[in-house]
Amino acid sequence: MSEEVTLPLDEVRRISIDVLKAGGLSDDHAHAIAEVVYAGQRDECHSHGLYRLLGCVRSVREGKVNPNAVPDVVDHAPAVVRVDAHFGFSPLAFERGKPMLVEKARRMGLAAMAINNCYHFSALWPEVEAISAEGLVALAMTPSHSWVAPAGGNKPVFGTNPIAFAWPRPDGPPFVFDFATSAIARGEIELHRRAGKPIPTGWAIDSEGNPTNDPTAALAGAMLTFGGHKGSALSAMIELMAGPLIGDMTSAESMAFDEEVGAAPCHGELILAFDPKVFLGADAAQHVSRAEKMFESIIGQGARLPSQRRYEARERSKVNGVRIPNALYDDLQALLPR
Ligand SMILES: NC(=O)C1=CN([C@@H]2O[C@H](COP(=O)(O)OP(=O)(O)OC[C@H]3O[C@@H](n4cnc5c(N)ncnc54)[C@H](OP(=O)(O)O)[C@@H]3O)[C@@H](O)[C@H]2O)C=CC1
Ligand SMILES: O=C(O)C1=NCCCC1
């Protein structure tokens, strides 16, 4: 028997919407969340694709998330948009706030959007990619729950704290990177546990502080930052910029707020958008072509750009559909109405 099931892409979207609606989410939330889950699965980001629906539904069932929250978009300052997600999931808050962020960035050159009080489970690249589709440069960051030890320590302080960047390119999809500041996303360790596979050395330590290859011990212990003290400092920056700076929770505070329920982390997100036309005026084309030279010199020596694998996966999925483990398929089916 095959251990995986193949799903056409439209089925990925349909299952997502059906699972979310059956889980009690409003139509608007179900559609906004389904789009980011769909994008994750399509681009073969397994840790943030269909698997995330399980956590979404659990978070609603536990009574933490407001499944009908209507985000408020506030014109806070000439270059600052604030969105209060009212304890709903973040994708709808982003969708509602984005038009004002783009408009402000075009007027001011640089604008920021602070999303507050949101439950956050999603990859960040769909957001920065959407902003770059408007011709803007974008940077996004968010904390999570305190699962990650600082470099030199062995007790969790930081979240897995992703940071994502997008740079629009004239003749193709944008240059995008998006990664956790931990050695790997926690979702990837969870997927190893579900598949019964060991994790590589360097991802985590157990609760005694020893290196471990056991995903269960890793999840109970502490994850490690990427790049030692460098990932640790970046992670601290994200805690500060998308936490106290915007009046929201750090990963440790988000963890305490969860009260051991195991819901998605609840905190803020900071998104910055820059308009190259305002910075560069008539010189924009010349500077953009210098950026292209840099990309060419990376690709020209056989290295790849971040996002290249994802764009290739995107094309593959359009033709072949996506493959998910049978166990995940069964778990999703169990969340649908009988
Ligand atoms: N909401 C949340 O709280 C959290 C969300 N996440 C999400 O988890 C996802 C996965 O994160 P993570 O586990 O750190 O992912 P990875 O460690 O796999 O890093 C992903 C990034 O690095 C790029 N990359 C990987 N290998 C190479 C290479 N050889 N050359 C050039 N670029 C490369 C990827 O491009 P490509 O995609 O093309 O491979 C991608 O941009 C992210 O989308 C992140 O947003 C993570 C933590 C918390
Ligand atoms: O994979 C991760 O790390 C996370 N993803 C979604 C939210 C919590 C952290």
| CATH label of the domain that carries residue 267 | 3.30.1370.60
Residue identifier of the C-alpha nearest atom 6 of ligand 2:
121
The Cα-based distances of 46 to 50, 185, 186, 216, 333 in angstroms read 7, 11, 12, 19, 18
Asked if 132 is an active-site residue, the reply is no
Q: Is residue 110 part of a domain?
A: yes
Q: Is residue 211 part of a domain?
A: no
CA distance 290 to 15: 44
pLDDT for 307: 95
**pTM (predicted TM-score):** 0.97
185 C-beta closer than 6 A to ligand 2? yes
Distance of CA 275 to the CA centre of its chain: 23
Range of 262's domain? Answer: 4-182+225-281+325-334
First to last CA, the chain: 25
Q: Is residue 262 part of a domain?
A: yes
Q: Is residue 260 part of a domain?
A: yes
Which ligand 2 atom is at minimum distance from the Cα of 122?
6
Please report, in tens digits, the pLDDT of each residue of the chain (338 residues total): 459 999 999 999 999 999 999 999 999 999 999 999 999 999 999 999 999 999 999 999 999 999 999 999 999 999 999 999 999 999 999 999 999 999 999 999 999 999 999 999 999 999 999 999 999 999 999 999 999 999 999 999 999 999 999 999 999 999 999 999 999 999 999 999 999 999 999 999 999 999 999 999 999 999 999 999 999 999 999 999 999 999 999 999 999 999 999 999 999 999 999 999 999 998 988 998 899 999 999 999 999 999 999 999 999 999 999 999 999 999 999 999 88
Q: Is residue 198 part of a domain?
A: no
Q: Is residue 138 part of a domain?
A: yes
Number of domains in the chain: 1
Q: DSSP 3-state assignment of 62?
A: coil
Q: Is residue 313 part of a domain?
A: no
Asked if 47 is an active-site residue, the reply is yes
pLDDT for 284: 87
Residue in 31, 46, 48, 192 annotated catalytic: 48
Which residues have a Cβ under 8 Å from the Cβ of 259 and sit 6 or more positions away?
A: none
pLDDT for 129: 98
97, with CB counted inside 10 A (0-12, 13-18, 19+), is buried
**HEC assignment per residue over 176-241:** EEEEECECCCHHHHHHHHHHCCCCCCCCEECCCCCECCCHHHHHHCEECECCCHHHHHHHHHHHHH
Q: Please say whether the beta carbons of 166 and 174 come within 8 A.
A: yes
Q: What are phi and psi of 53, to 5 degrees?
A: -60, -35
Q: Is residue 293 part of a domain?
A: no
Q: Please say whether the beta carbons of 61 and 23 come within 8 A.
A: yes
40 C-beta closer than 6 A to ligand 2? no
CB atoms near residue 260 (< 10 Å): 7
Q: Please say whether the beta carbons of 254 and 265 come within 8 A.
A: yes
The ligand with the least distance to the CA atom of 235 is 1
pLDDT for 312: 98
Which ligand 1 atom is at minimum distance from the Cα of 307?
38
